[in-house]
Structure 1
Amino acid sequence: MRHLRGEGDTAPVQMAAVLIGLVFVVIGVLGFVPGVTTGYDTLALPHDSQAELFGLFEVSILHNIVHLVFGVIGVAASRSIAASALFLVLGGIAYLVLWIYGLIVDDLSGADFLPTNAADDWLHFGLGIAMLAIFFATPRIGTTRATDPHRPHSPIE
């Protein structure tokens, strides 16, 4: 990873963003793999899908695409400290909102655009808390520079 401060200057928050992003890309791809996704023949757009990733988490075509897009955003965000931090904060908040959504939206209502079950709901809770915890726990400074953000960048760094 590289950002404006120089080659090899990667902050822990950037590593977290890229790792989380890559996990989401892999999960998004696995959602389209028969065998890994049980009930694959029922994989459909949002509400009609009965497929389950690992036989546990309800998924749909839309759900898998959202995982892929979210993962790509995380990988792209990892190019800068600020974008990585924003990815973790907004992603954490989004997953907590999805957790609440899953708890209050009736599976049979028209508002249920994303198939979820109890396993999904608690996974969303865990992801939201984890992303926010990682944001707060990871330093947002480069690993090979002094911490003074006003220090001029030298071309030989």
Structure 2
Amino acid sequence: MARSPRARVRVEGLQPVQILAGLIGLVFLVAGIVGFTRTGFGNFTGHHDETLWRFGINPFHNLLSVVTGLVGLVFALSRGLSRFYGLLLLVGYGALFVWGLMISGTVSGNPVSRAGNPFDLSTNVTWLHLGVAVLGLIVAMLPARKIARVDEPEPVRDEEAADDLGGKHTTEQHSVARSDVMQNDVVRNKTAAIDPPTQPVPAQPVGARSADEQPTDEHATGPGWRPRRWTRHAKQDS
């Protein structure tokens, strides 16, 4: 005997959000390391003429790329942290995008104008940051991959099955015997109500006289006394 299987849907295994977060982190890490080989560590927050794939960089921006890459690789170990990493990209690089628009004059007003341009934000880099923010939103909203698992039924040992069957048979036998006893009691009660028991008549010994044949007076008990029935038979014989 076996129990019926059950299907359960679970979120298991490596999720797409983890893969995407790991790839983004790897790209940022490589870009930061390559950027340091171009700019070095001098003039850390200043302007540099070196570019990386037509994007202006400086050492501070390279450090930001390395940190972003390391965080992405670590957070990719968990699906929850991977989604949180997407939110960080959305908020952080979205803020850099708005800051770049303020620096380039696209957006009037710059409340942080005193900070200057430590990341050496150019127009190309500003729009690149917008693309990174959108990518972070995709990572945060990426659906999970679900797997349907069917639990294998646990077999019941033959001994347990036999015990269960034996217990059922014993219970049924007791129920049948109890019902038979109750039916017999009902039949007996009905019989007693219809035909009440009669008192048994005691047997008389041979030669004993019944109450009708007993003499009624002292003269009838003499030697010549016979019951009427006997006298009639005696007359017939004579």
TM-score normalised by structure 2 residue count: 0.49
Larger radius of gyration: 2
Q: Distance in 2 between matches of 1:42 and 1:12?
A: 36
Q: Which moved more, 1:111-120 or 1:68-77?
A: 111-120
Count, aligned residues: 132
Match of 1:133 in 2: 138
Q: What stretches of structure 2 of length at least 5 have no aligned partner? A: 1-9, 106-112, 150-238
1:13 aligns with 2:17: yes
Offset, 1:95: 0.9
Give the superposed CA RMSD: 2.7
1:122 aligns with 2:121: no
Structure scoring higher RCO (CA < 8 A, sep ≥ 6) equals: 1
Identity between Structure 1 and Structure 2 (%) = 28
Matches within 5 A, 1:48-127: 48-54=47-53, 56-105=54-103, 110-111=114-115, 112-127=117-132
Offset, 1:130: 1.8
Structure with the bigger percentage of helix: 2
TM-score normalised by structure 1 residue count: 0.73
Match of 2:235 in 1: none
Q: What stretches of structure 1 of length at least 5 have no aligned partner? A: 35-39, 147-157
Deviations 1:96-119 (A, max 9, x none): 110000010369x54222111000
1:26 aligns with 2:30: yes
Where 2:118 maps in the other structure, the secondary structure is: coil
